[in-house]
């Protein structure tokens, strides 16, 4: 990537800078070093969540490691991928630690954007679930440490369902509702329960959220082949799932034009009967004025229950000049049960560390008083029986971008079969440059 | 009668343009949770708030937008100062001297600076990365300092300065830089202000470049920070609108302050 | 003597020429060079690809659609903005009560940066936003705006015109005011169809500023990016996937930097052609 062709202009730009009277704060960039860097100082940590989420873990870490400070920078999820690609390929020393979505580990590692953490392998194997252990590996090396795990719940508006005379779903995973049931009940709530919409998924254009729809119908993950670079999004399962999904918007059951993560307020305002969201909502919705409850995520009639899983890991930027401190923080926030628990106290999400998880899961029942009763049992059940990870592929980042646009178009009324065919073509094109 | 109908038509158009702005200001004065409360049905309360609160603005101070606005001011100011120096000297070189190929140099300089540098932002940002200019103020300022319109405008103005003045100055023992500094610049205030405004507005409105080169917390600029606010888990529209107002009012004040020169510079670029 | 003058002129031009070389010419060359290479993530290494990236690009359906959308956008947005600016300039140069105030209201939004305008209009265009609130009040059905393939471009044109029309109007007002007032007044008071007369008298007299505005507007609209990135991500179905956004997403979302560089080369060539026209107009009657 580095080219000498333009070394001359570097002199020119230095001259221009001198001329302009402002010097750039530049350090020579370089390859990843094993140099741990200074013992004390300030490390920067970049992620997608609100700053408040990480305040407790940063405080706990700073208390335990006097002399080290951590500053957190948020980049919204929509911009995170593109911005991080730019900054990491610039060998930006301004990022020491960053959050890594588990399926992206392969590509980031292949591009040299993650520091090899394989010396922690044995510890990681015992501290995390087998699937978390596996997804943070690429080519037999460990590149990032799992921080969180996730699942999805079906939230329902109790008042609206009662008004529409619908018996709400129960928290028992054995009595899980089907999407067909949810749709019918949602329509009743729109007619008689006073809600504007029947059903809304929290991230309506995210692969994480929609993969389970296709998997429930046996459609597979959408990626196949030995190198995991062959698109398979035109299976019957994908087609059927997307037809159904597109129809929920066409019929007005779900609203168009409200983007991912602007969806929660719609449920909190009482405008929708059913909402599919994550563990963080267990607490967020607690402050809303409406009465609600939780149930397991639905599946398709005739299909099998499938739920999403996986979440953010933490990785170290190889360009960081503070590898030692960065690793200390990463280890504290994941391998140390207390540190890992601290990452989940503001935004309620499942800690990946098994020790932390044991303490955490039972509390989930009471995040919002009686409303969240049953959440703990659902979480345990899903992780043992229904959780399906997102596919591991060096092409996952492109896959997610392409599918995100396809989901947006299907949501807005494009014929789903044709759009999936289009996605296959776009994936083939995008992956050509990787192969 | 005709006058009245023209007045009514003008008023209708004016209000149409003004309504979105008014709505933004109004919503910046009420809590974010009420943003969508007055829209169905529409009433006068959609556009007026009787119990305004400044909480969004005080929250703004502690949000990334506060810092980003300061960065925007700093970067724009630096762009104006350095940009004027570069553009004015270039315009002087192209106006005060006769040499072979002057027309060609003029053509090349203005033409290449007229190409909006957004077009070339992606290869340029790759290079800036190799030069360690990512997330530096220098990296943010540099691409804005060469402005084809500003050079053009200043040169036009400089061409109008009588040659006798220059000769008199030379006879008084002024060097060429002295001629530039003590004769050309003092006479060209309107053109300098006009060109400065162009450089300022260009930098203030920039989005692609700051997105590519300055996204860390210490160097992020206003427009990028504002669009980032929208992607958060729970968007606070009160805060978004307050930020939008601040980022609009600052250039508005600058334009209003130099309104006379603005119109003058605007009219002399396209018309004379 | 002339040579000495040339050297001194060169000294004054030096900073600008350095900027020119570093900020424009070198990146342009770098884009051309990079566009001839390709890189494999799995195998690693940089390989000369000749015109491979260009043929890939030209055979890519998304790129071709993006070119089409950009052309459609260009032929829609520029005539609309120029026509509206001209009509408003004519309107606001008439003697009428409050003309100054109304004119100021139209000019105010030009201070809003495009990215900020995009954020504002994202709320206006939401299904429960201001636009549908207004439509409801007028007894009209709600519209999908940004989520409809056919309405997305017009929606973007509205938000760009909101900040653009006032700006271009300033140029045209200045041009109209150069026309002697008696001529304008006479045209206005001359009985039947004053508007038509006004336009038929004034239009030829402001031909030059009008042509300038048309070209300058075209350049500025060619590289529209912020509203697409913030509001639509090129959708629905690629119907707002303007070239500048396509380059960006190809470079950083899809991560295919070399093909993106090829696209930059095409984009710069296109811009240069339009800018050359603008320059000719600027120099015009020298």
**Chain C from 150 to 189: CB within 8 A of any A CB:** none
A83 touches chain B (CB under 8 A): yes
Among A180, A178, A185, smallest CA distance to A162 is for A185
pLDDT at A76: 80
Among C257, C190, C205, C232, smallest CA distance to C41 is for C257
Using CA atoms, how far apart are residues A107 and A103, in angstroms rounded to an integer?
Answer: 8
Question: Which residues belong to CATH 1.10.3720.10 in chain B?
Answer: 64-270
What does residue C29 show for φ and ψ, rounded to 5 degrees? -65, -45
Q: Taking CB atoms and an 8 Å cutoff, what residues of chain B touch C256?
A: none
Task: Name the CATH topology of B64-270.
Answer: MetI-like fold (1.10.3720)
Domain map (residue ranges) of chain C: 1-34, 62-283
Interface with C, mutate which of B14, B36, B91 (most C CBs under 10 A): B14
Q: Taking CB atoms and an 8 Å cutoff, what residues of chain A touch B125?
A: 86
**Separation in Å, CA of C196 to nearest CA in chain B:** 14
Average pLDDT, chain B: 86
Neighbours of chain A (3+ CB pairs under 8 A): B, C
Q: Does domain C62-283 have CATH number 1.10.3720.10?
A: yes
pLDDT tens-digit map of B230-258: 655 566 788 889 999 999 999 999 988 88
Q: How many CA atoms lie within 13 A of A76 on its CB side?
A: 21
Q: Identify the closest residue of chain C to B18 by CA–CA distance.
A: C105
For residue A424 the two structure tokens come to 């296959």
A44 touches chain B (CB under 8 A): yes
Q: What is the DSSP string of B153-216?
A: HHHHHHHTS-HHHHHHHHHTT--HHHIIIIIIHHHTHHHHHHHHHHHHHHHHH--HHHHHH--S
* Reduced 3-state DSSP string for B87-119: HHHHHHHHHCCCCCCHHHHHHHHHHHHHCCHHH
C92 touches chain B (CB under 8 A): yes
Task: Name the CATH topology of A153-309+380-432.
Answer: D-Maltodextrin-Binding Protein; domain 2 (3.40.190)
C105 touches chain B (CB under 8 A): yes
pLDDT at A153: 97
Measured CA to CA in angstroms, residue A362 lies from A199, A250, A346 at distances of 28, 40, 17
Interface with B, mutate which of C113, C161, C248, C286 (most B CBs under 10 A): C113
Beta carbons of C233 and A408 less than 8 Å apart: yes
A355 touches chain B (CB under 8 A): no
Using CA atoms, how far apart are residues A43 and A56, in angstroms rounded to an integer?
Answer: 16
Strands (E), A105-163: 137-138, 141-142, 145-146, 148-149, 153-157
Q: Taking CB atoms and an 8 Å cutoff, what residues of chain A touch B133?
A: 13, 24, 26
Interface with C, mutate which of A429, A432, A435 (most C CBs under 10 A): A429
**Separation in Å, CA of B132 to nearest CA in chain A:** 5
What does residue A44 show for φ and ψ, rounded to 5 degrees? -105, 145
Using CA atoms, how far apart are residues A116 and A128, in angstroms rounded to an integer?
Answer: 18
Taking a C-beta distance cutoff of 8 angstroms, is the pair A255, A267 a contact?
Answer: no
* Reduced 3-state DSSP string for B29-57: CCCHHHCCCCCCCCCHHHCCCCCCCCHHH
Q: How many CB atoms lie within 10 A of CB B175?
A: 11
**Separation in Å, CA of B234 to nearest CA in chain A:** 6
A27 touches chain B (CB under 8 A): yes
Beta carbons of A24 and B217 less than 8 Å apart: no
**Chain B from 17 to 76: CB within 8 A of any A CB:** 64
β-strands A307-308, A387-388 pairing: parallel
Among C95, C114, C97, smallest CA distance to C164 is for C114
Beta carbons of A262 and B135 less than 8 Å apart: no
Q: Do domains A37-150+310-367 and A153-309+380-432 have the same CATH topology?
A: yes
A288 touches chain B (CB under 8 A): no
Among C131, C113, C115, smallest CA distance to C123 is for C131
Using CA atoms, how far apart are residues A146 and A383, in angstroms rounded to an integer?
Answer: 15
- Cis ω for the linkage preceding C236 (within 30 of 0): yes
Smallest Cβ–Cβ distance between B89 and the set C12, C102, C114 belongs to C12
DSSP letter (8 states) at residue A178: B
Using CA atoms, how far apart are residues A267 and A195, in angstroms rounded to an integer?
Answer: 10
pLDDT at C216: 82
Using CA atoms, how far apart are residues C64 and C263, in angstroms rounded to an integer?
Answer: 11
Q: Taking CB atoms and an 8 Å cutoff, what residues of chain A touch B207?
A: none
pLDDT at C44: 65
B96 touches chain C (CB under 8 A): yes
For residue A308 the two structure tokens come to 């999403």
**Chain B from 7 to 36: CB within 8 A of any C CB:** 7, 9-11, 13-15, 17-18, 20-21, 23-24, 35-36
**Separation in Å, CA of A399 to nearest CA in chain C:** 9
SS3 assignment, position A344: coil
C27 touches chain B (CB under 8 A): yes
Using CA atoms, how far apart are residues A37 and A325, in angstroms rounded to an integer?
Answer: 8
pLDDT tens-digit map of C116-139: 999 899 889 988 889 998 998 899
Q: How large is the ipTM?
A: 0.89
Give residue C286's pLDDT band: very low, low, confident or very high (50, 70, 90): very low
- Residue C93, pLDDT above cutoff 80: yes
pLDDT tens-digit map of B53-102: 888 899 888 888 899 999 999 999 999 999 999 999 999 999 988 888 88
**Separation in Å, CA of B265 to nearest CA in chain C:** 10
B70 touches chain C (CB under 8 A): no
Among A257, A280, A33, smallest CA distance to C235 is for A257
Chain B / chain C CB contacts < 8 angstroms = 297
**Separation in Å, CA of B52 to nearest CA in chain A:** 23
| Adjacent-strand bridge partners of A275 | A155, A200
Beta carbons of B139 and A83 less than 8 Å apart: no
SS3 assignment, position A93: coil
Beta carbons of B270 and C171 less than 8 Å apart: yes
Find the mean pLDDT for residues C237-243.
94
Smallest Cβ–Cβ distance between C127 and the set A257, A401, A435 belongs to A257
pLDDT at C1: 55
**Chain C from 66 to 85: CB within 8 A of any A CB:** none
Q: Taking CB atoms and an 8 Å cutoff, what residues of chain C touch A256?
A: 127, 144, 147
Neighbours of chain B (3+ CB pairs under 8 A): A, C
C253 touches chain A (CB under 8 A): yes
Task: Name the CATH topology of A37-150+310-367.
Answer: D-Maltodextrin-Binding Protein; domain 2 (3.40.190)
pLDDT at C41: 66
Q: Please identify every stretch of chain B with a pLDDT value under 70, giving residue numbers as ranges.
A: 1-2, 230-235, 263-272
Residue scoring higher pLDDT (C69 or B7): C69
Burial class (CB in 10 A: 0-12, 13-18, 19+), A167: exposed
Give residue C284's pLDDT band: very low, low, confident or very high (50, 70, 90): low
Domain map (residue ranges) of chain A: 37-150+310-367, 153-309+380-432
Q: How many CA atoms lie within 13 A of B103 on its CB side?
A: 4
Beta carbons of C233 and A429 less than 8 Å apart: no
pLDDT at A20: 38
Smallest Cβ–Cβ distance between A50 and the set B136, B139, B232 belongs to B232
Give me the tens of pLDDT residue by residue for chain A, a chain 435 residues long: 333 333 334 334 434 433 333 333 333 333 344 688 898 999 999 998 888 889 999 999 999 999 999 998 888 887 788 888 888 887 888 899 999 999 999 999 988 999 999 999 999 999 999 989 999 999 999 999 999 999 999 999 999 999 999 999 999 999 999 999 999 999 999 999 889 999 999 999 999 999 999 999 999 999 999 889 999 999 999 999 999 999 999 999 999 988 766 788 889 889 999 999 999 999 989 888 899 999 999 999 999 999 999 999 999 999 999 999 999 999 999 999 999 999 998 889 999 999 999 999 999 999 998 999 999 999 999 999 999 999 989 899 899 999 999 999 999 999 999 999 999 999 998 898 777
């Amino acid at each position: 990537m580095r080219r000498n062709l333009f070394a001359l202009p570097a002199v020119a730009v230095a001259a221009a800078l001198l001329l302009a009277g402002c010097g750039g704060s530049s350090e020579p960039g370089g390859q990843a070093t094993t140099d741990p860097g200074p013992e004390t100082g300030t490390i920067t940590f970049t992620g997608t969540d609100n700053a408040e989420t990480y305040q407790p873990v940063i405080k706990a870490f700073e208390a335990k490691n006097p002399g080290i400070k951590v500053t957190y920078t948020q980049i919204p999820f929509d911009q995170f991928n593109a911005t991080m690609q730019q900054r990491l390929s610039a060998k930006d020393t301004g990022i020491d630690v960053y959050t890594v979505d588990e399926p992206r580990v392969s590509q980031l590692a292949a591009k040299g954007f993650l520091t090899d953490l394989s010396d922690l392998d044995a510890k990681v194997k015992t501290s995390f679930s087998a699937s978390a252990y596996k997804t943070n590996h690429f080519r037999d090396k460990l590149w990032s440490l799992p921080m969180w795990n996730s699942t999805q719940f079906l939230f329902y508006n109790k008042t609206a369902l009662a008004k529409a005379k619908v018996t709400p779903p129960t928290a028992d995973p054995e009595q899980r509702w089907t999407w067909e049931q949810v749709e019918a009940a949602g329509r009743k709530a729109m007619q008689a329960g006073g809600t504007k919409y029947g059903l809304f998924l929290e991230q309506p254009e995210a692969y994480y959220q929609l993969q389970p729809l296709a998997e429930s119908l046996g459609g597979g993950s959408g990626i196949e082949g030995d190198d995991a670079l062959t698109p398979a999004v035109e299976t019957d399962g994908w087609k059927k799932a997307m037809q159904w999904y597109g129809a929920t918007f066409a019929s007005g059951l779900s609203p168009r034009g409200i983007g991912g993560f602007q969806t929660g307020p719609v449920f909190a305002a009482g405008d929708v009967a059913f909402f599919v969201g994550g563990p963080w909502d267990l607490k967020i919705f607690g402050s809303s004025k409406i009465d609600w409850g939780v149930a397991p995520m639905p599946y398709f009639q005739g299909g099998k229950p499938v739920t999403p899983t996986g979440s953010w890991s933490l990785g170290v930027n190889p360009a960081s000049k503070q590898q030692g401190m960065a690793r200390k923080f990463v280890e504290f926030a994941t391998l140390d049960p207390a540190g890992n628990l601290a990452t989940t106290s503001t935004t309620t999400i499942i800690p990946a560390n098994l020790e932390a998880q044991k303490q955490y899961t039972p509390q989930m029942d009471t995040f919002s008083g009686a409303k969240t009763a049953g959440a703990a049992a659902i979480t345990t059940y899903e992780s043992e029986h229904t959780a399906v990870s997102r596919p591991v592929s060096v092409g996952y980042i492109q896959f997610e971008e392409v599918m995100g646009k396809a989901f947006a178009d299907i949501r807005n009324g494009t014929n789903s079969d044709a759009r999936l065919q289009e996605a296959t073509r776009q994936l083939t094109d995008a992956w050509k440059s990787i192969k | 009668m005709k006058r009245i109908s023209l007045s009514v038509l003008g008023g209708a158009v004016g209000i149409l343009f003004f309504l979105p702005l008014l709505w933004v200001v109004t919503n910046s004065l009420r809590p974010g949770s009420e943003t969508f409360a007055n829209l169905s049905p529409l009433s006068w309360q959609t556009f007026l708030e009787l119990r305004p609160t400044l909480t969004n603005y005080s929250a703004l101070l502690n949000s990334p937008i506060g810092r980003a606005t300061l960065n925007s001011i700093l970067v724009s100011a630096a762009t104006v100062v350095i940009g004027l120096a570069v553009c004015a000297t270039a315009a002087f070189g192209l106006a005060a001297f006769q040499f072979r190929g002057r027309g060609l140099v003029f053509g090349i300089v203005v033409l290449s600076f007229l190409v909006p540098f957004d077009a070339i932002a992606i290869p340029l940002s790759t290079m800036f990365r190799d030069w360690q200019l990512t997330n530096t103020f220098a990296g943010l300022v540099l691409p804005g300092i060469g402005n084809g319109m500003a050079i053009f405008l200043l040169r036009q103005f400089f061409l109008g300065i009588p040659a006798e003045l220059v000769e008199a100055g030379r006879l008084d023992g002024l060097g060429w830089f002295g001629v530039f500094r003590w004769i050309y610049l003092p006479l060209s205030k309107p053109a300098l202000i006009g060109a400065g405004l162009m450089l300022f507005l260009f930098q203030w409105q920039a989005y692609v470049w700051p997105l590519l080169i300055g996204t860390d917390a210490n160097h992020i600029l206003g427009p990028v920070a504002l669009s980032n606010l929208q992607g958060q888990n729970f968007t606070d529209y009160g805060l978004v609108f307050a930020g939008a107002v601040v980022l609009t009012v600052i250039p508005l004040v600058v334009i209003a302050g130099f309104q006379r020169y603005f119109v003058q510079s605007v009219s002399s670029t396209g018309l004379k | 003597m002339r040579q000495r003058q040339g050297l001194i002129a060169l000294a004054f031009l030096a900073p600008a020429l350095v900027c020119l070389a570093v900020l424009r010419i070198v990146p342009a060359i770098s884009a051309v060079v990079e566009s001839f290479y390709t890189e494999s993530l799995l195998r690693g290494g940089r390989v000369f690809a000749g015109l491979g990236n260009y043929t890939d690009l030209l055979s890519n359906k998304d790129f071709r659609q993006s070119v089409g959308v950009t052309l459609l956008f260009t032929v829609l947005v520029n005539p609309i903005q120029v026509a509206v600016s001209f009509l408003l300039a004519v309107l606001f140069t008439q003697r009428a009560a409050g003309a100054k105030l109304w004119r100021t209201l139209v000019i105010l939004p030009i201070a809003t940066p495009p990215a900020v305008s995009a954020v504002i209009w994202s709320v206006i265009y939401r299904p429960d936003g201001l636009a549908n609130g207004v439509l409801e009040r007028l007894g009209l059905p709600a519209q999908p705006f940004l989520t409809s393939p056919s309405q997305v471009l017009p929606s973007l044109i509205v938000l760009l015109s909101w900040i653009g029309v006032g700006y271009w109007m300033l140029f045209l007002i200045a041009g109209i005011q150069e026309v002697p007032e008696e001529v304008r007044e006479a045209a206005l008071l001359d009985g039947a169809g004053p508007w038509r007369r006004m336009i038929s008298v004034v239009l030829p007299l402001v031909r030059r500023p009008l042509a300038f505005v048309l070209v300058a507007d075209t350049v500025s609209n060619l590289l529209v990016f912020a509203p697409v990135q913030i509001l639509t991500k090129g959708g629905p179905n690629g119907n707002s996937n303007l070239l500048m956004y396509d380059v960006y997403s190809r470079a950083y979302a899809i991560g295919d930097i070399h093909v993106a560089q090829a696209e930059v080369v095409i984009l710069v060539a296109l811009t240069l052609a339009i800018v050359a026209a603008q320059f000719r107009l600027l120099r015009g009657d020298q």
